[in-house]
């Protein structure tokens, strides 16, 4: 057995994933400089999605696929109802278009695939991530709304209430969400609470909202509070935990074996967590939550 402590040439997992996170940031900056820092278009998030997809495809288990597209229901019944009531004629058939869908391709084939665009079955979905170039208040509302609606629909459409990871990933944080006197803007709590109230608690809030170099982490099930952390320490000393922590969370939603335990919770984060806001979850959630 190789003794890692006596071999300084071997990278620790934290160092390996720190290098992966740094590489992701470097690629993003390279593209930005190639097309111009002031470049803006409706498709500006496309290359951001491509970078994150590339990282996730290299990292996640082979039985899941990382694509973009829609989730379509295949039943006319409300599966979240004990009586399995019939859905109304004008009920949604598909989710909003999703930036990243992580779905099980070992047990479920997509209904439709064209390169990395898919339409998949509700039962196959393990995680949904919305990707933004720069996260501002408007994009936060859009991303949280998409995730809340998607998770609300999947709760109705699934035969089994499998856990679903929902997250937001952005390469930077806009000024309107970056207060100078505290680590996190009140807009996050307000937007999260608004989405929760809209669906009466019957939806998922983002488990992880990452806008480099900050992120908010959901705590509790049902979630009651959110903690703020930095992917890098204030002084810049120490590993960049962005990619390690994202994979750490996703591994628990995409694997039933040892994959979820192979990436320990980064020690560097334990002392950095600080509560930034709480939410009020409607009582209906207690009856609908997934048992972890």
Is residue 126, in this structure, part of any structural domain at all?
Answer: yes
Question: How many H-runs (helices) and E-runs (strands) does the chain carry?
Answer: 8, 10
- Determine contact, residues 203/155, Cβ cutoff 8 Å: yes
Q: Find the mean pLDDT for residues 122-135.
A: 94
Q: Name the packing angle between helices 13-35 and 46-59 (round to 10°).
A: 160
Is residue 173, in this structure, part of any structural domain at all?
Answer: yes
Q: What is the pLDDT, as a whole number, of residue 264? A: 58
Q: Pick from 128, 118, 189: which is nearest to 153 by CA?
A: 128
pTM over 0.75: yes
Q: Is the pLDDT of residue 7 over 90?
A: no
- Which residues form the domain of 65? 13-288
Is residue 40, in this structure, part of any structural domain at all?
Answer: yes
Q: Pick from 31, 114, 100: which is nearest to 71 by CA?
A: 100
Q: Pick from 66, 251, 93: which is nearest to 165 by CA?
A: 251
- Determine contact, residues 134/170, Cβ cutoff 8 Å: yes
Q: Is the pLDDT of residue 287 over 60?
A: no
Is residue 198, in this structure, part of any structural domain at all?
Answer: yes
Q: Is the pLDDT of residue 36 over 80?
A: no
> How does residue 64 score in pLDDT terms, banded at 50, 70 and 90?
very high
> How does residue 221 score in pLDDT terms, banded at 50, 70 and 90?
low
Domain count of the chain? 1
Mean pLDDT of the chain: 80
Q: What is the pLDDT, as a whole number, of residue 100? A: 96
Q: What is the pLDDT, as a whole number, of residue 23? A: 74
| DSSP classification of residue 83 | T
Is residue 1, in this structure, part of any structural domain at all?
Answer: no
Is residue 6, in this structure, part of any structural domain at all?
Answer: no
Q: Which of 10-14, 17-21, 87-91, 207-211 has the lowest mean pLDDT?
A: 10-14
Is residue 20, in this structure, part of any structural domain at all?
Answer: yes
Q: What is the pLDDT, as a whole number, of residue 59? A: 85
Q: Is the pLDDT of residue 262 over 60?
A: no
HSE-CB of 260 using CA atoms within 13 angstroms:
8
Q: What is the pLDDT, as a whole number, of residue 14? A: 64
| DSSP classification of residue 72 | B
Which has more pLDDT, 233 or 107? 107
Nearest-angstrom CA–CA distance, 23 and 206: 25
Q: What is the pLDDT, as a whole number, of residue 284? A: 57
Task: List b or e across 32-53, with b for residues whose CB sees 16 or more CB atoms inside 10 angstroms.
Answer: beeeeeeeeeeeebebbbebbb
Q: Find the mean pLDDT for residues 23-42.
A: 66
What is the distance, to the nearest Å, from the Cα of residue 109 to the centroid of all Cα atoms in its chain?
22
Q: What is the pLDDT, as a whole number, of residue 198? A: 96
HSE-CB of 215 using CA atoms within 13 angstroms:
24
Report CA-CA distances (Å) from 286 to 222, 224, 270, 290: 7, 12, 28, 9
Is residue 3, in this structure, part of any structural domain at all?
Answer: no
């Amino acid at each position: 057995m190789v003794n890692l402590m006596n071999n300084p040439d071997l990278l620790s997992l934290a160092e390996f994933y720190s290098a992966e996170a740094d590489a992701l940031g470097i690629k993003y900056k390279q593209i930005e400089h190639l097309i111009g820092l002031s470049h803006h278009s409706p498709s500006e998030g496309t290359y951001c999605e491509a970078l994150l997809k590339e990282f996730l495809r290299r990292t996640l288990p082979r039985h899941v696929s990382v694509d973009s597209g829609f989730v379509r229901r295949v039943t006319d019944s409300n599966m979240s109802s004990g009586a399995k009531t019939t859905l109304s004629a004008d009920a949604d058939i598909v989710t909003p278009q999703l930036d990243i869908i992580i779905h099980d391709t070992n047990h479920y084939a997509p209904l439709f695939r064209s390169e990395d665009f898919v339409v998949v079955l509700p039962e196959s979905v393990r995680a949904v991530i919305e990707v933004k170039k720069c996260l501002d208040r408007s994009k936060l509302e859009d991303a949280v709304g998409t995730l809340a609606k998607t998770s609300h629909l999947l709760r109705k459409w699934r035969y089994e209430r499998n856990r679903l990871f929902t997250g937001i990933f952005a390469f930077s944080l806009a000024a309107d969400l970056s207060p100078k006197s505290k680590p996190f803007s009140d807009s996050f709590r307000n937007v999260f609470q608004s989405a929760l109230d809209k669906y009466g608690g019957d939806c998922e809030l983002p488990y992880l909202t990452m806008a480099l170099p900050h992120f908010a982490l959901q705590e509790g099930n049902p979630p009651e509070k959110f903690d703020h952390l930095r992917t890098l320490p204030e002084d810049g000393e120490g590993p960049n935990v962005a990619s390690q922590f994202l994979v750490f969370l996703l591994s628990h939603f995409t694997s039933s074996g040892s994959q979820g335990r192979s990436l320990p919770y980064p020690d560097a984060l334990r002392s950095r967590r600080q509560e930034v806001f709480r939410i009020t979850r409607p009582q209906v959630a207690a009856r609908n939550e997934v048992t972890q």
